[in-house]
Amino acid sequence: MAFVERVFSGVQPTGNLHLGNYLGAIVNFVKMQETHNCIYCVVDMHALTQPVEVWGGPSELARNTREVTAAFIAAGIDPKKHIVFNQSQVSGHAELAWIFNCVARVGWLNRMTQFKEKAGKDRENASVGLYDYPVLMAADILLYRATHVPVGDDQKQHLELSRDIAQKFNNDFGDSIRGHGYNDGMYFPLPEPFITGPATRVMSLRDGTKKMSKSDASDYSRINLTDDADTIAQKIRKAKTDPEPLPSEEKGLEPRPEADNLVGIYAALSERPKAEVLREFGGGQFSSFKNALVELCVTKLSPIAAEMKRLVADPGHVDAILIDGADRARTIAAETMKATQDIVGFVRKR
Binding site for ligand TRP (CB under 6 A): 8-10, 12, 43, 46, 137, 140-141, 149, 151, 155, 158
CB of 283 to ligand TRP, least distance (A): 38
Q: Which of 31, 211, 240, 274 is catalytic?
A: 211
In the residue annotation, 290 being an active-site residue is answered as no
248 to each of 252, 253, 279, 280, 317, how far by Cα in Å? 7, 9, 6, 8, 48
Q: Which is nearer to ligand TRP, 151 or 225 (CB)?
A: 151
> What is the distance between the alpha carbons of residues 322 and 119, in angstroms, rounded to a whole number?
31
Least separation in angstroms between residue 96's CB and ligand TRP is 12
Cβ proximity to ligand TRP: between 41 and 293 the closer is 41
Question: Least distance in Å: CB of 123 to ligand TRP?
Answer: 19
**Closer residue to ligand TRP (CB): 67 or 140:** 140
Please tell me the distance from the alpha carbon of residue 267 to that of residue 285, in angstroms, as a whole number.
17
Q: Least distance in Å: CB of 137 to ligand TRP?
A: 4
8 or 22: whose CB is closer to ligand TRP?
Answer: 8
Please say if 338 is a catalytic residue.
no
CB of 232 to ligand TRP, least distance (A): 24
Q: Which is nearer to ligand TRP, 115 or 173 (CB)?
A: 115
| 251 among known catalytic residues | no
What residues have CB less than 8 Å from 194, skipping those under 6 apart? Answer: 7, 28, 32, 148, 149, 150, 151
Q: Which of 31, 168, 214, 338 is catalytic?
A: 214
Is the Cβ of residue 141 or residue 301 nearer to ligand TRP in the bound state? 141
Rounded CA-CA distance 19/300 in Å is: 11
> Which is nearer to ligand TRP, 49 or 241 (by Cβ)?
49
Residue nearest to ligand TRP (CB): 10
CB of residue 93 to ligand TRP, shortest distance in Å: 9
Nearest-approach distance from CB 12 to ligand TRP, in angstroms: 5
Q: Are 345 and 176 in contact (CB under 8 A)?
A: yes
Among the options 80, 81, 116, 118, which is catalytic?
118
Q: Which residues are catalytic?
A: 118, 211, 214
